[in-house]
Structure 1
Amino acid sequence: MTKVDPLIRIERALSMTGGASSDFDLNPQYKPPEGRVLRPAAVLVAIQDGINGLEVVLTKRSSRLKHHPGQIAFPGGKQDDVDGGPIDAALREASEEVGLNPNSVDVMGTLNSHETVTGFIVTPVLARIKAPFVPVPEAGEVEEVFNVPLAHVTDPRQFSVQSRQWRGQTRYYYTVPYGPYYIWGATARILRGLTERIAQ
């Protein structure tokens, strides 16, 4: 049986149809406030060659941050007026947060948006790092930059649904842990969406 190049599977996944996702997918009882204004944001799902084959670059946010301290996330953030769109925003944020030169990546495409409970509409941008990359974490915001095998975070068997109390309600969410890293919430949901596309 011929093995399919993982990158070809990603390229095929980008051509597949897929619906938008949100932090509310597993929590239909929670209704977002009416009239809310969602702020555009973007994250970079950066793939590179590593010791475990293709790997995805992730960050651990600083424990000193006011919002989402210590959480695992893709490089990314809100889309600014200077950005020409989500791709520009994702590349700019990755440059600022982990020192990834925009000229060192080939953008492959985007996934469907993800709405967060904090009021952002996030566009995941998939890219292949084509040059040697030594991460430089942004002081004060990024505590660590690390890689996880693409095969691990696109394996449906590695995902589970867990819950915690949030604003007096039980909130359910996806997780895809890897070693000491607890990958959950929007990051895990975006990876889950990619996994579902690959499986089509």
Structure 2
Amino acid sequence: MSVAWSQDLLGKALSATAGPSSDFELDGTPAPDISLRPAGVLAAFHEDDGRLILTKRASGLRHHPGQIALPGGKLDPEDSDEIAAALREAREEIGLDAAQVDLIGTLPPHQTVTGFAVTPVLGIVRGGFIATPEPQEVDEVFTLPFAHIANPARYVIERRRWRGSWRSYYVAPFGPYYLWGATARILRGLAQRFRS
């Protein structure tokens, strides 16, 4: 069952009760108690129809090459918080000016198997936006329809071996785009909030 796009949905989603998530929860193992590096990602929905801006990471990157991701990254020393990091990275990676983004709020952090505490930042993109991908970091900037992102039934569980053990993760493929891992888990959590 699909949810129709409404800008009010983002605010309502933030009021739904849910705790932090992790890449470990599907395997029934507790997340390791380690020091995590803070990061912020921007879930930027266009005001017109709720299409979500995503990137395909550059194939030459050392970490997560070719993966589908929300714009964002780790906190740099000049960032005041995860929101600032998400907005800075969105500007650097895809040319999105922070002045075009109405910030709605943040979701609880998501712990990745690679040792990050990723805070999703929700925002609405106002006006026209023509992406300018940074070629060293981004191979492609594209959007996915709100109806796909907002439907929990689109997210299914797959498994693969990683560092000697089986890992389970969510996927939500759309055409040529294989949305999976932490990005899919974050967006599935948001989709569930839309239905609360």
Q: TM-score range by the shorter chain?
A: over 0.9
> Contact between 1:59 and 1:144, CA under 8 Å: does it hold in 2?
yes
Cα offset for 1:23?
A: 0.5
Matched to 1:55, the amino acid is R
> Contact between 1:105 and 1:131, CA under 8 Å: does it hold in 2?
no
Q: Structure 1-normalised TM-score?
A: 0.92
Matched to 2:38, the amino acid is P
- 184-193 or 151-160: bigger deviation: 151-160
Cα offset for 1:6?
A: 2.3
Q: 1:109 aligns with which of 98, 105, 115?
A: 105
Give the match for residue 46 of structure 1: 44
In structure 2, list runs of 5 or more residues that go unmatched. Answer: none
Task: Output the CA distance in 1 between the equivalents of 2:190 and 2:38.
Answer: 20
Cα offset for 1:131?
A: 2.2
Give the match for residue 131 of structure 1: 127
May I ask how many residue pairs the two structures share in their alignment? Answer: 194
Question: Tell me, what secondary structure is at the counterpart of 2:108?
Answer: coil
CA-atom RMSD in angstroms: 1.5
> Contact between 1:60 and 1:73, CA under 8 Å: does it hold in 2?
yes
Percentage of pairs with the same residue: 52
Give the match for residue 66 of structure 1: 62
Give the match for residue 19 of structure 1: 19
Give the match for residue 169 of structure 2: 173
> Contact between 1:62 and 1:141, CA under 8 Å: does it hold in 2?
yes
Determine if the alignment matches structure 1 residue 28 to structure 2 residue 22: no
> Contact between 2:7 and 2:47, CA under 8 Å: does it hold in 1?
no
1:4-55 CA-to-partner distances (Å, cap 9, x unmatched) read 65222222111112110010010224652x5x210100000001146xx220
